[in-house]
Amino acid sequence: MMHYSHRLSSGRLAQIVGTFVLIPALILAVAGFWMSRTEHLFESKYLLKASLSKSYGLEPGAPIVVSGIRIGRVKQVDLNDRGTVDLTLQLLARYQDMVKENSELHITKSGVVVGQTQVDIAMGTASSPVLSEGSIIRAVEPRDIGDLLNEVEPVLMAVKQTLLRVETITQDMQGGLKAGGKALEQVALATQELPAVVASVQRTIASVEQTATALPAMTGSIKRTLSMVDRVTADVQQTTGRLPAILDSAQTTLTSVKRLSDSVSEVSQELGPIIHSAETTLADMSILVRGAKQTFPFNRFVQNAGPAPKESPPPSREGTQSLRGDQLRR
């Protein structure tokens, strides 16, 4: 059996082959056009220069973005004689007004931590001049992991010391909790004794209240006592003032008494003979009275007068004789 293609004429085969060749060519042309638009192959571009201490993973073709929008690509990454890396940046001319002299170049990742390494340009201020073709843009290099570790190391040491301190504080807290438990036990014991202490305090307060109630009366009494003391002090002062005159008067009185005693002594010496003479006279008069009673007419008067009184014992001759009437009748 003859194959279908063997039955076709040469012209028909040419058409079929041309169709199969033309379709892929059209596809490639559309893809190329699309890629050219994506890569901005037909747009005007300009170049900028930058210098880094190392490449940080940058390769030719790495995207250049401003605020997340791609505005160009890294055209060339070269190592110079100084050991640093020179970058050649190709940027779209329509974004040239956004890149100013005070703009900065940063090396970042397309993701938060991982992703494609890219160049991120920070827009400058509106008043700053625009960077022209071939100008050098200032690069801010990313911090190396080693540098970050060197900076983190003191922080880690501080954290370690802090943890040690926390452990020490924890141990101290445990000791404090034990001491607090003992203190609570003592508080419990003190609480048991608290009613007696409260009662004692209440009694003390009652006593203080009573004392405070009696305080005005005590104060009045003290004031009266002080007034009396003032008066007594004044009297003592007055008496003390009169004391010299009293002493002089007493001295004068003593002198007078002494003189009077001397006079009484002299009178007593002179009175002895007088008393003796009076006693003799009284004895004589007693004898005369007895004789007169026995003589008429006096004896009649005696009888009419009644019995004679009993004779009293004879008076003592010592001292002064009494001159009463009954003794005169004897």
The pLDDT value recorded for residue 219 is 80
The pLDDT value recorded for residue 129 is 92
| Tokens 């250049």, located at residue | 64
155-188 pLDDT per residue, tens = 888 888 899 889 889 888 888 888 888 888 887 8
* Extents of the domains making up the chain: 13-42, 45-142
Q: Between these two residues, 262 and 85, which has the higher pLDDT value?
A: 85
| Tokens 């036990």, located at residue | 185
What does the alpha-carbon distance between residue 4 and residue 12 come to, in Å, rounded to a whole number? 12
Nearest by Cα to 131 from 105, 102, 107: 102
The pLDDT value recorded for residue 329 is 45
75 near 90, Cβ under 8 Å? Answer: yes
Counting residues of the chain whose pLDDT is more than 90, the rounded percentage is: 18
Take residue 83 and report the two structure tokens written for it: 């050991």
203-262 pLDDT per residue, tens = 888 887 887 787 778 788 888 888 887 887 888 778 777 777 777 877 888 887 788 777
The pLDDT value recorded for residue 258 is 81
Q: Which residues contact 89 (CB under 8 A, 6 or more apart)?
A: 47, 48, 49, 50, 64, 72, 73, 74, 75, 105, 119, 137
- Residues β-bridged to residue 119: 64, 107
The pLDDT value recorded for residue 317 is 47
Return the axis-axis angle of helices 145-294 and 298-305, rounded to nearest 10°.
130
The pLDDT value recorded for residue 52 is 92
Take residue 221 and report the two structure tokens written for it: 């009494």
Identify the H or E element spanning 24: helix 10-38
119-140 pLDDT per residue, tens = 999 988 889 999 999 999 999 9
pTM here is 0.38
What does the alpha-carbon distance between residue 60 and residue 74 come to, in Å, rounded to a whole number? 5
Q: Cβ atoms within 10 A of the Cβ of 35, count?
A: 10
285-299 pLDDT per residue, tens = 777 767 666 665 556
Three-state secondary structure string covering 108-124: EECCCCCCCEEEEEECC
Nearest by Cα to 221 from 233, 231, 229: 229
The pLDDT value recorded for residue 102 is 92
26-59 pLDDT per residue, tens = 888 777 666 656 665 668 889 999 999 988 889 9
What does the alpha-carbon distance between residue 132 and residue 111 come to, in Å, rounded to a whole number? 30
Take residue 200 and report the two structure tokens written for it: 């004692």
